[in-house]
């Protein structure tokens, strides 16, 4: 039997280059933080399911508010639906932060998973343009069987996980075709009796992990404080976001940013801190002594100067981010180009 020799052509600049440049094949909603956008692969991916997970005071609802504001700017005729189950949504504060409250439908609170199923099914079937659907939060939803069941006859979340799986299985492809983006907020819960692995979990079982394209875990890592009238008062929090799953970019990337009370995400400070972390202050024309209060000094100046400097920092961060990603990844594909 004759054995033929097979020649394989090795392609240059293959696999690594796919993730070393912005993904133009998908549409994204900016998160309000450039470093987080880069970690996500471009921002919150549209027409998919996104899960934001975190403990208290980690900015879960704030990220939804900023996503709503950016979605409204990108799609002037887009529809925003905010469904909350905690009876804690404050429209006045959301508007002060930047949510276009006059364009947000928040008049239909959810109580059970069945309510979510019925509402989302109706929204998807009747969608005639881009829709942003926010569920805040999944952990506050029960199921109708639990509502009528006695307190000592709990299902331990099994029914909720099963129904969520049925919901996503029926609607996931239809959501993509109808341009419906869904952001689901989840709160972490401590696992009982475990001494290894992740010590926290969230309701919904494996359904969310399976159907969500982006799963972001938020962690509270510090408190910002300012001295006013000889008193040190909290003015914000420092949050770290880690991509536990990312189907539109490289997973397990992290982003750190500050949230200022009454303002939102401090994008400028996040960019400056990232530039400092990678040791590129000199290349970015930033002095070490200028880092502290960099964002506040910009706010005191003219709007034009602030916009110019913010845009410059974002472009510099994006350029260096992809340079680092390119150096990390293999520069050719396994089977050739």
Structural domain includes residue 245: yes
pLDDT score, position 87: 80
Are the C-beta atoms of 204 and 161 separated by less than 8 Å?
yes
Residues 44 and 187 in one domain: yes
Structural domain includes residue 2: no
Residues 309 and 217 in one domain: no
* Structural domain that includes position 180: 15-147+154-263
Residues 229 and 192 in one domain: yes
Among 247, 263, 279, the domain boundary falls at: 263
Residues 75 and 217 in one domain: yes
pLDDT score, position 122: 95
Among 242, 263, 284, the domain boundary falls at: 263
pLDDT score, position 201: 73
Structural domain includes residue 332: no
pLDDT score, position 253: 96
CATH code of 161's domain? 3.40.50.300
Tokens of 210: 């399976």
Residue 316's φ and ψ, nearest 5 degrees, are -65, -45
Residues 284 and 170 in one domain: no
Residues 293 and 250 in one domain: no
Residues 162 and 254 in one domain: yes
pLDDT score, position 5: 43
Residues 239 and 284 in one domain: no
Residues 178 and 203 in one domain: yes
DSSP string, 203-232: SSTTHHHHH-SEEEEEEEEEEEEEEETTEE
Structural domain includes residue 38: yes
Residues 204 and 302 in one domain: no
pLDDT score, position 195: 58
pTM: 0.91
Among 210, 245, 263, the domain boundary falls at: 263
* Tally of domains within the chain: 2
Structural domain includes residue 135: yes
**Mean pLDDT of each 10-residue bin along the chain, 337 residues long:** 40 64 92 98 97 94 96 97 89 91 92 91 95 93 72 61 86 93 91 68 80 95 93 96 94 96 95 97 94 92 93 97 91 73
Structural domain includes residue 10: no
**Can you tell me which residue has the tokens 């001494």?**
195
Structural domain includes residue 102: yes
- Quick one: the chain helix, strand, coil %, rounded to 5? 40, 25, 40
Structural domain includes residue 336: no
pLDDT score, position 10: 37
């Amino acid at each position: 039997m004759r054995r033929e020799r097979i020649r394989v052509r090795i392609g240059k600049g293959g696999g690594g280059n796919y993730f070393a440049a912005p993904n133009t094949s998908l549409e994204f909603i900016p998160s309000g933080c450039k470093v987080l956008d880069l970690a996500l692969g471009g921002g919150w991916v549209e027409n998919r399911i996104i899960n934001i997970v975190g403990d208290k005071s980690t900015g879960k609802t704030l990220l939804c508010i900023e996503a709503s504001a950016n979605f409204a700017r990108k799609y002037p005729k887009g529809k925003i639906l905010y469904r909350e189950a905690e009876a804690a949504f404050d429209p006045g504060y959301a508007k002060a932060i930047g949510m276009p409250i006059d364009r947000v439908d928040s008049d239909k609170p959810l109580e059970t998973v069945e309510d979510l199923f019925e509402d989302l099914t109706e929204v998807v079937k009747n969608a005639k343009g881009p829709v942003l659907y926010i569920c805040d939060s999944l952990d506050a939803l029960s199921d109708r069987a639990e509502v009528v069941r006695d307190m000592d006859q709990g299902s331990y979340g099994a029914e909720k996980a099963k129904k969520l799986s049925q919901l996503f299985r029926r609607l996931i492809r239809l959501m993509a075709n109808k341009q419906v983006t869904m952001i689901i907020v989840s709160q972490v819960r401590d696992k009982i009796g475990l001494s290894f692995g992740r010590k926290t979990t969230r309701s919904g079982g494996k359904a969310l992990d399976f159907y969500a394209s982006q799963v972001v875990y938020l962690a509270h890592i510090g408190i910002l404080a300012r001295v006013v009238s000889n008193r040190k008062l909290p003015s914000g929090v420092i949050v770290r976001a880690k991509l536990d799953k990312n189907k539109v970019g490289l997973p397990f990337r992290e982003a750190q940013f500050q949230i200022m009370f009454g303002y939102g995400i401090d994008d400028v400070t996040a960019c400056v801190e990232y530039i400092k972390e990678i040791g590129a202050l000199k290349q970015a024309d930033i002095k070490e002594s200028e880092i502290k209060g960099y964002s506040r000094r910009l706010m005191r100046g003219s709007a034009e100067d602030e916009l110019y400097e913010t845009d410059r920092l974002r472009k510099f961060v994006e350029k260096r981010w992809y340079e680092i990603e390119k150096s990390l990844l293999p520069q050719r594909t396994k089977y050739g180009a």
